[in-house]
Structure 1
C-alpha cells in the first residue's frame, strides 16, 4: 500500500463523500503512478507512461488510470505476500468481480469476470505482460514472479483481440531492474507438511545489463486424502540497455506441476455432508497428472521522445498435460450411486493435451495536436498462432439396465472406500484431433482531449482469423475463416479535480475451439458491453476508487456434446449486468484498507436443453458458479516493536449462493472466510511471517460442475516462514 502522511482532519471530512461514491482500490504502486500533489493537496495526473521497472506497458498508452474509460483493479505483489498467496486463483479472490469456475480437477486456472467465463473445456485465458499466456495447459499459475495482477474489466477486443466480454487478467511479471542489486529468499512450512522455498535475486552485472533470477519449489500433502502435490518453477528475466532510450527485455519460464487429478466430493440430496471434505474418490493408482510449461518473451522498447515510443515483442509458450483419472460418472442411467447411496460408478480417462502458442506484435504510441485538440494515439499490429493437439481416451460404466458388476462399473464405496480393488480399466480413444488458430490483427485508438475536462476515446481492431481442425479419428478436416471489426467508444469527463465520470461501449469476440459432430467449425462467440461509472482520487491518493455499472451480452456460447465426446454444441445467448464497488487506501493511524464488492446478475437468455445434463434451460436461469453477491474486505497496520518493524492484518471474504449445475436447482451454499496474516523483523534483513486462512474452519465449496463433481474448499490452513533480504 502507498505509505504517506496526511492531515487526519481532512481525511475524516472526506471519508463520507468517498464511501458514498464507492471508490475502487489501487495498490500503492498504482497510486504512485496515478497522482502527484499540487499546492492544494489534490492529485495532478502524470503525463508519463505507466511503467513496470522501466518497461512500457502494452495496450495501455500514456494514460493515468483515471483517464481510462474502463474499470481497472490492481493487486500488488505486496498484497500477495501479505496474504501468503501462492496461486493466481487465490489472488483473484481479492477482487469481487472475479469468481472461481471448474478447474479440471485442480489442473488449470478457470474464472469468470463479471459473470462470464470462457469455454468450459479450456483454461481461462490471461495475459502475461500483454501476451496471451493462459491458453495452454501448464497447470495453475504460481504467484512467484508476479509484480502485480491487473483486472481489466470489460471487453478488450478492440485492442488486444480475442477475449471474454467480462474482462481480461494481465499478469505483470517482475522485470530485471537496471543499475542495482537486491534480493530475497524465503522458506516456509504449512499445514499438511507443505514445504516451500522461493528466491528473487536481481544482479546488476554492468551498468546496462541486469539479470533477475526468480525460482520456487514446493512439495507436500493437501487436506484431500491421497493428494500429494509437487511443483517448481524457474522464471528469470534479463534487462539490457542498447542506448539511452532503448531497452531489451527477455523473460523465460520453466514450470512443472505434478498432482493427482481430483474431481472433489459427491453431494446426494443436497446433503453436503454425504462424505467428508477430505475424501478422495479417484484412484491413487492413476498416479499424478503432470503439467509442464516452457515460455519465452522478448521485448524491445524505444523511446524516441517523450511523445513517441515503439514497443516490439514476441512470445512463445509450449505446454503439455498428461495423466490418468477416475471420475464420477455424471449420467444417471449409468450411475449406481443413485440406487444404493454408496456405490459410485466411475469413468477412467487418459489425457494428452499439447499446445503451442506464439505471438509477435508491434505498437506505436504517440501524442500530437490538431488545432486546439490534443491526441494520444496507439497504433499496433500482431500475429497470433495457437496449436492444440489433444488425445483423449475414456472408459465409461455400462448402462444400469444391463445389470453390470461392480468391477464393470469401476465402483468405489463412498462411505468406506477401498482403493485398487479392481484392475484399472483401459479406455478407448474418444478424441484424436489438432485444432489450429491463426490471426492477423491491426488496431488503432485515439483519445482526444477536448478542453480541460472532456476526453473522448474512439478506436477499433480488425482481425482476420483462420480456424482449422484435423480430426485424425474420423479423418475429417475442417477449416473456416472469419473477418471481424471490433469497435470501441468511450468518454471521460472531469467533474472536479478528485472526481471523474466515464462511459464506454465496446464489442468483442472470442474464437470457439473445436467442431460439432459433423465437423463444422463454429462461429466466434460475440459480445457487446455497456459500462458507466465514476472514479475518484482524494487527498493526494489516500483514497482511490471506482463505482461502475455494466451490462454484457454474448452469443454463440458452446457446451460439450454429451453424445459425442470431444465435440461441442452451440447453446445460445447469455447476459450479465451488475454494479461494482471498490475502495483502497490508508486511514489515520496507519491502517491500510481494501474493499471490493460486486453484485452480478448473470443469466441465460435462450431456451435450450443443456447438452451436459439433458435438463432444460430457460431465459432467466442463473449461470453456473456465479454468485449474485461477492465481497472481500482487508485491513492491515504496520507498527514498531522496539526498533523492529512489524505488521498485522485481517481479511474476510463472503461469497453468495451460486448455481452448482446448469439447468437444475442444485446450489452451492454461501460461505464467509476469515484470514489473519502478519510479519515481524527478527533482525536486520530477516523477518518472520505467517498467515492463517479459513480461520474459523468453515465448510465451503469453491466450484461445482454437478452434484457429483463438487470441489470442497480447504479447512483452516496455517503457514509460517522466514524471509531474508539484502
Structure 2
C-alpha cells in the first residue's frame, strides 16, 4: 500500500491573504526567536549550569517507548530501569515540537509511530551524539504543546495537538499543499557499496536503488522488469535456468541476497520479488561487498524486515494468459515487549507461457523471518526462503544469416512439453552486537541450495539458413548447487584530531559446490525441424539414461577474503573512501569420462589477489556531490583449456567520475556518471576444440549514465535513465578484435512516471506511463548477427482508498514484436520479449 509506514502522506493546509504576507513573516520571525528558548514545566534556573551538570553524570538508558491516547491528546512515555531522566530542553520548528533530553541513551532501535491520533502526524524518538535523545512530535496542522512530568522510572510528555490559526479577509488566497515525507521513489541510504549504512551522497561510486513502491506501482514479477529502472542494466538471457544481466557491458556473475552470494556459477536464476524491500545495483567493481565478481557491478536484493507494529497485507493478482497470483505479507510483534518480531511472505503463481509451450510457469514461495532483540545492544534475525519453480524448458529462438530468424515470438524450437524444474532453499542469520554507540560487531551466515533438472529438445545445428531447416536433439541437465557464505566484521568510529573515521574490518569465508553437473546430449539421434513450418510430437524423446554424456563435473570453489575500509571525513564537505581486500581462492574441477573425452581428469588451481578501491567526494553545496574513484575486481574462471587446465582468473579495473544532486529537499535525485572499465583474461569457447575454452585477451567498456528518480511535484513521481555504452573487444586472437561485446546496446532509455490525484472527489486515483528503448545488439563475439532495437510503451491506472488499493498495469501496450535478449550463441539464449501483457491486482492492508 502506498500509505504504509515508509510512505505516509502528510497534509498541510495554509491560508494566506495578500495583505498579510509581510506581517506573517515578521510574526514568524518573532515566534522562531521565542521558540529557541522555550521550555515546558521547568523552573527558571541557570540552563547552562544545569546542562553541564547533567552531562557530567552517567547517561540514563531509555529501555522502552510507549504512546498512549488520552482525552485531550496523547502521552509519550520514555521508560528507564536505573535512573531518572533530566527535564528536556524543547524548541519548535515549523509544525514540529522538538524535545532534547541530555545525559540519556536509547537502548533500542529508533522509534517511529505515524498518526497515533488525529492532529499528530508523527512521533519519533532517536539517539543523538554526546549522550542525547531527541523526541520529535510533528503536528498535522500546527506544532503541538507539551507538559513534562518525571519519575524514577521514566519521563512523560503530555501532548496536546496544535490548531492552525487562519485569519479571515475579503480576498483570500488558499494554497493547499499535499506532500510526502521524502519521496516514495527515493532511498537516501544504502549498505551495498560500503557494508555500512551510508548516505548515497557520500559514496564515490554510482549506486541505484529500486524501492518497494516502484515494484508495486509497476506490478513487475521478474527481476529483469524491475531492473529496467536502472541505467546500464539489460537482460542478456531469459532461458529455462534463469535470467542473466549485463551491467555496464559485462555479465553480472551472481546475485546477492542481503549481501550474501546466492551462487557462483554465473547464473542469477528466477528470483522471487515478493519479499524484497529494495533492489540495489552497485555499478562497477564491488570487491569490498562481494569479493570475486565481474567488474560491471553487483545486484543486491534487500529482504523485508519484521515490523514492531502489526501489519497484514493480502493481495490477489490476475491477468491475461491465465495469470493468477495470491500472496500475503504479515508482520508484527510476537511478545508484549516487542523484542521478538516476525514477518511472513508467501505467494503462489500460475500463468500460461507466452512462448507457446504446453508447460505453464508455476511457482510456490514462502519466506518466514524472525527478529529477536536479545538485549539492549544485541539483535539476531533469522531468514528462511523456499521456492518451488516449474517452467518451460525454453532455449529461445535461433539466428539465420545476419539476423534472428523471422518467425513469431511464440515459436518453440523444440517440443511443446519441454520442461525445467528447480527447488531452492536459503537459510540465513544476521547477528549484531553494539559494544558502544561507536563500535559494533556483525556476524552473518547464509546457506543456499538449488536442485535443478530439465528435459529439452535442443537445436543442434542449422542445415539450410534459407529454408530454415535445422537439426534437433534430446538433451537433459541435472545439477545440485550449494553455496555457504560466512561473514564477520567490526565497524567503528573514531577521530584523529578534527578528522572523522568510520572503519570497517572483516573476513569472509565462501564455498560453492556444483555436484554432478550432468549434461546429456543425444548427438547420435538428431532429427530435422523447420522453423518456418514447425511440426511437433512426431519425434521420440531419448531416454535420459541412454543419452550420451556431454559433461559430468563436480566443481568446488573455496574462498577466503579479508578486507579493510576507512570512510574519512576530512572536512564537512570533503570525504575520502579507501579500502583494500585480499582474496585467496582454491578451485577444484573433477571431470568424469564422457563420450567426447573418455578419460577422467582433475584440476586444481590456487589464486590470490589484492583488490584496492579509493574514491573522493566533494560537496560544493549541501545538495551536490562531485566524486571520482578507482576500483578493481577479481573473478576466477571455471573454464578449462583443451589440456584440462583451469584458465587464469579474470581481472578488471574501473575509473569513474560523476555528480549526484539531491533536489527539492531530497525528494528528487539525479546521478550522472562517466566510467571506463577494462577486463583481462576472458574465457570463451575454443574454436578448434569443442567443449574447451581459451582466453580472448582484453575487453573494454566506456560510457555515460544518467539516473533521475523522485517526486517532481506533490503526487507526481518519476524514474528516468539513459545509458550510452561503448563495449568492445580490444585484444583477441580469434579475429574478433574491435567487435562489440555480446548483447550490449549502445543506447538504452527508460522512463516511468506516475501521478496520483491529491484532493477532491477523485482523490486516490492514479495514472502511470512509461517507455523502454534498447538499441541494436550483436548476438555473439564474432558479431555475426544482430538483434534489432525496440521501443515499448507501458501504462497503469490505480485507485487507493482507506486501506485498500486496486490497480491495472499494461506492459507492451502496442503489442510490439521484439527480441529482448541477444543470447550467447546463434542457437541458445535469443529471447523474444513478452507481448501485450495486462495485470490487475487488489490488495487490502490492515
TM-score by length of 2: 0.74
SS in structure 1 of the partner of residue 215 of structure 2: helix
Contact 1:139–1:257 (CA<8 Å) still a contact in 2? no
Match of 2:532 in 1: 415
Secondary structure, counterpart of 1:305 in structure 2? coil
The aligned residue for residue 275 of structure 1 is 407
Change (3 A) 1:295 1:58: farther
1:106-162 per-residue CA deviation (whole Å, 9 max, x = no partner) reads 4212001111115xxxxx401110100244678411211111000111111144311
1:679 offset after TM fit, Å?
Answer: 1.7
Gap regions ≥5 residues in structure 2 = 14-123, 127-135, 137-180, 594-598
Q: Which residue of 1 aligns with 2:382?
A: 250
* 1:169 paired to 2:296: no
Q: CA RMSD in A?
A: 2.7
* SS of structure 2 residue aligned to 1:101: strand
Preserved CA contact (<8 Å) 1:266 1:274: no
User: In 1, Cα distance between the equivalents of 2:314 and 2:686?
Assistant: 48
Question: SS at 2:500's partner residue?
Answer: strand
Structure 2 match to 1:23: none
Match of 2:843 in 1: 723
Distance 1:349 1:447 in 2: 52
8 Å contact kept, 2:489–2:507: yes
CA distance in 2, matches of 1:530, 1:266: 37
1:92 is paired with a residue of what secondary structure? helix
Q: Cα deviations across residues 581-640 of structure 1 (Å, max 9, x unaligned)? A: 11112123521111111111000011332xxxxxx312x210011001111111111125
**Structure 1 residues 58 and 199 mapped into 2: Cα distance closer, same or farther (>3 Å)?**
farther
Cα deviation code 1:502-525 (max 9, x no counterpart): 111111111112422322122111
Which position in structure 1 is the counterpart of 2:773?
A: 654
| Cα deviation 1:191-214 (Å, max 9, x = unaligned) | 111111111111321111112110
What secondary structure does 2:226 align onto?
Answer: helix
Secondary structure of the residue aligned to 1:527 is: strand
Looking at structure 1, the residues matched to 755 and 211 of structure 2 have their Cα atoms a distance apart, in angstroms, of: 16
CA deviation map 1:437-482 (0-9, x unaligned): 1111110011222223221222101112111111222322111111
Which secondary structure state, in structure 1, belongs to the residue aligned with residue 201 of structure 2?
helix
Deviations, residues 655-698 of structure 1 (Å, cap 9, x unaligned): 111112221341111111111122213x6433211100001111
- Contact 2:248–2:701, Cα closer than 8 Å, also in 1: yes
Distance across 2 between alignment mates of 1:128 and 1:134: 10
Residue 181 (structure 1) aligned with residue 310 (structure 2): yes
**Would the aligned equivalents of 1:337 and 1:345 in 2 still touch at CA under 8 Å?**
no
**Map of 2:601 onto structure 1:** 476
Correspondences of 1:74-85 after superposition (within 5 Å): 74-85=209-220
Aligned to 1:405: none
Contact 1:138 1:291 in 2 (8 A): no
Q: Of the candidates 687, 698, 701, which is equivalent to residue 816 of structure 2?
A: 698
Shift of 1:267: 4.2
CA offset at residue 700 of structure 1? 1.1
Question: What SS does the aligned partner of 2:243 have?
Answer: coil
**Map of 1:679 onto structure 2:** 798
**Superposed counterparts of 1:361-376, under 5 Å:** 361-376=487-502
Q: Does 1:574 align with 2:699?
A: yes
Superposed counterparts of 1:284-303, under 5 Å: 284-286=416-418, 288-303=419-434
**How far apart are the structure 1 equivalents of 2:838 and 2:333?**
36
Q: Matches of residues 521-536 of structure 1 in structure 2 within 5 Å? A: 521-536=646-661
Q: Distance in 2 between matches of 1:384 and 1:375?
A: 29
State the distance in 2 between where 1:424 and 1:294 align. Answer: 31
Query: Paired residue for 1:86?
Result: 221
Give the 3 Å change call, closer, same or farther, for CA 257–364 of structure 1 in structure 2.
Answer: same
- Secondary structure of 1:313's partner? strand
> 1:81 aligns to what SS in structure 2?
helix
Q: Within 2, Cα distance between the matches of 1:696 and 1:641?
A: 33
Shift of 1:62: 4.4
**1:564 CA displacement:** 5.5
Larger Rg: 2
Whole-angstrom CA distance in 2 between matches of 1:652 and 1:315: 38
1:220-231 aligned within 5 A: 220-226=351-357, 227-231=359-363
Distance 1:61 1:551, change over 3 A: same
What residue number does 1:638 align with? 756
**CA contact 1:346–1:396 (8 Å) conserved in 2:** no
Task: Work out whether 1:445 is the aligned partner of 2:571.
Answer: no
Alignment of 1:489-508 (within 5 A): 489-508=614-633
Provide the residue aligned with 1:109 in structure 2.
243
- What is the CA–CA distance in structure 1 between the aligned matches of 2:574 and 2:254, rounded to whole Å? 34
- 2:366 aligned partner: 234
If asked which structure has higher relative contact order (CA below 8 Å, sep 6+), I would say 1
| Residue 586 of structure 2 corresponds to residue 466 of structure 1 | yes
Please give the alpha-carbon distance, in whole angstroms, between the structure 1 residues aligned to 2:760 and 2:350: 34
Q: 1:663 to 1:6 in 2, by over 3 A?
A: farther
Residues 362/450 of structure 1: CA separation in 2 closer, same or farther (3 Å cut)? same
Change in Cα spacing, 1:482 to 1:345, as seen in structure 2 (3 Å) is same
Secondary structure of 1:336's match? strand
Matches within 5 A, 1:26-425: 59-103=194-238, 105-117=239-251, 124-135=253-264, 139-177=269-307, 179-206=308-335, 207-226=338-357, 227-269=359-401, 274-286=406-418, 288-330=419-461, 335-338=462-465, 341-395=467-521, 408-425=525-542
Residue range with higher mean Cα deviation, 574-583 or 456-465: 456-465
Please tell me whether the aligned partners of residues 194 and 221 of structure 1 are also in contact (alpha carbons under 8 angstroms). Answer: yes
Residues 362-401 of structure 1 deviation map (CA, whole Å, 9 limit, x = unaligned)? 1111110112211111111110011112433443557xxx
TM-score, normalised with respect to structure 1? 0.86
Query: In 2, distance between residues paired with 1:395 and 1:465?
Result: 32
Shift of residue 485, structure 1, vs aligned partner: 0.9
Q: Alpha-carbon deviation of 1:326?
A: 1.2
- Determine if the alignment matches structure 1 residue 629 to structure 2 residue 747: yes
Task: Call closer, same or farther: CA 1:597–1:134 in 2, change over 3 Å.
Answer: farther
5 Å-filtered alignment, 1:488-637, equals 488-561=613-686, 566-609=691-734, 616-618=735-737, 620-637=738-755
Between 1:591-600 and 1:512-521, the stretch displaced more is 512-521
Structure 2 SS opposite 1:577: strand
Shift in Å, 1:78: 0.8
Q: Distance in 1 between matches of 2:410 and 2:421?
A: 22
Contact 1:316/1:357 (8 A) holds in 2: yes
Classify the secondary structure of the residue corresponding to 1:110: strand
Aligned partner of 1:17 in structure 2 is none
Q: SS at 1:554's partner residue?
A: strand
When residues 371 and 648 of structure 1 are mapped into structure 2, their CA distance, relative to the original with a 3 A threshold, is same
CA shift at 1:347, angstroms?
A: 3.0
SS of equivalent to 1:581:
strand
Query: Aligned-pair distance for 1:5?
Result: 8.4
Among 791, 807, 811, the residue aligned to 1:689: 807
| 5+ long unaligned stretches in structure 1 | 8-31, 38-42, 119-123, 399-407, 610-615
How far apart, in 2, do the equivalents of 1:58 and 1:315 lie?
19
2:240–2:420 contact (8 Å) kept in structure 1: no
